[in-house]
Amino acid sequence: MAKEVIRVGILGLGTVGSGTVQTLQENKKDIEQKIGARLEIKKIAVAHPDKKRPVPLEPGWITGDVNEVMDDPEIDIVAELIGGVEPARSYIDRALDSGKHIVTANKELLAKGGHELLTKAATHRLDFYFEGSVAGGIPIVQAMKIGLAANHIERVVGIVNGTTNYILTQMAQEGKDFAEALAEAQAKGYAEADPTNDVEGYDAAYKIAILASIAFMSRVDPEDIHAEGIARITAGDIRYARELGYAIKLLAIGRQENGSIQARVHPALLPFAHPLASVNDVFNAVFVRGSSVGEVMFFGRGAGALPTGSAVAADILEVARNIRFGSAGRIACTCFENKSVIPMDTIETKYYIRMKVSDKPKVLATIAGVFGEFGVSVESVVQKAVPTGESAEIVWVTHQALEKNVREALEVIARLPVVAEVSNWIRVEE
């Protein structure tokens, strides 16, 4: 007989947990109709049971003892909303051993150990859903696992970190420098006191590791992902980029070509006409190209209590449906293949390069000559005089070039007596 009541245990009641509880409670009637059964939160295990919470809680829900979730045979689904690798991994492992289905929003754990956990869940014929781990409220995981499952995915490119997108938007729209925009993001609660994970690109690297693994059906280890942040982008770079017809965005890029994978996170110049170029503030967007569907783009809020709560609550609903209809454990890990992630030196793209040089005859020709020696062809060059005398700032945009060649050419150029500094170089994505 189909189950009449499905019970959920939640681990953690921070931002995501609160948004999940609020979503489940506010839309309880609709959700239960969709499941065809009652859905009850049975216990919420937290580190500080006496802390005031931003959501209404029913008596008896909160416990300081995680075992009250783990050891309760009535709990069917465990929603792990603690974050970080440990103790989350051990709790999930234990919950799977006791036959509980898992929902999580834990990007770091998924990126580092998702394959093993998903495989274990499938072996036990249990569900393991993780929509909230990537791009908050945007249902990109289910879209790729189900809606686009019949495609060969060629590319998945996203703006998947709201904090850095907010900072870059402030720099572009208000002319602020990085430090000022970061301080404002912190004051507004978008950036954490220690912003390293966001601004250095690690958060985005976990997310593209998850998306690329699904898209390309091969495990992508976050350690193989080149992650570069936005701290070295200046308001000047953004102005030059704009003059050239580009926005600067922190992109998480996954591509597959000839059986190998590119997975990288770095700031990039994007033509204004590209749909990702107009994704601003804290919004996220993911652009996918599939063999049959062509191009699709998903846009929405990538963080925050209710958007992420929307994703987690939808996963809980889906697992509950599967329990009710006896169809749990259908969608296992799809990393059937073993494709390698290619090193950055072997990628080919266009480059924006800004440098300070002496404003003298033959300087441009000398530098262009070095680019030429390394097989780097120049597409355009802009020179601006610097008011303080005999130096100039030059911005080059190259044609498609091998990253290794560009890097080596810049090492030589930086040592030329006429070059004061190579100030920045940023990849250009068309």
Q: Hey, which residues are catalytic here?
A: 207
Binding mask 190-219 for ligand HSE (x = CB under 6 A): --------x----x----------------
Contacting residue, 20, 23, 163, 398, with ligand HSE by CB under 6 A: 163
Residue 88 sits in the site that holds ligand HSE (CB under 6 A): no
CB of 303 to ligand HSE, least distance (A): 4
| Nearer to ligand HSE (CB atom), residue 17 or residue 302 | 302
| Nearer to ligand HSE (CB atom), residue 166 or residue 374 | 166
By CB under 6 A, which span of 108-116, 160-168, 288-296, 338-346 interacts with ligand HSE?
160-168
**Cα–Cα distance between 311 and 79 in angstroms, integer?**
12
Residues of span 303-322 touching ligand HSE by CB under 6 A: 303
Residues of span 367-396 touching ligand HSE by CB under 6 A: none
* 338: Cβ contacts below 8 Å, ≥ 6 apart: 218, 219
Contact criterion met (CB below 8 Å) for 215 and 153: yes
**Cα–Cα distance between 119 and 335 in angstroms, integer?**
10
Exposure string (b/e) for 362-400, b if CB count within 10 Å is 16 or more? ebbebbbebbeebebebeeeeeeeeeeeebbbbbbbbee
CA 17 to each of CA 11, 71, 96, 111: distance values in angstroms, whole numbers, following the listed order: 8, 20, 20, 20
**Cα–Cα distance between 158 and 429 in angstroms, integer?**
12
**Residue 125 zone, left/alpha/beta (φ > 0; ψ -120 to 50; rest):** left
With contacts defined by CB under 6 A, how many residues of the chain interact with ligand HSE? Answer: 7
By CB under 6 A, which span of 59-67, 156-164, 285-293, 353-361 interacts with ligand HSE?
156-164
Residue 132 sits in the site that holds ligand HSE (CB under 6 A): no
DSSP structure string for 232-247: T--HHHHHHHHHHTEE
**Cα–Cα distance between 164 and 411 in angstroms, integer?**
29
Residue 302 sits in the site that holds ligand HSE (CB under 6 A): yes
By CB under 6 A, which span of 155-163, 213-221, 232-240, 244-252 interacts with ligand HSE?
155-163
Contacting residue, 20, 22, 106, 161, with ligand HSE by CB under 6 A: 161
CB of 343 to ligand HSE, least distance (A): 27
Q: What residue type is 187 in one-letter code?
A: A
Pairing of β 419-428 and β 260-271? parallel
* Site of interaction with ligand HSE (CB under 6 A): 161-163, 198, 203, 302-303
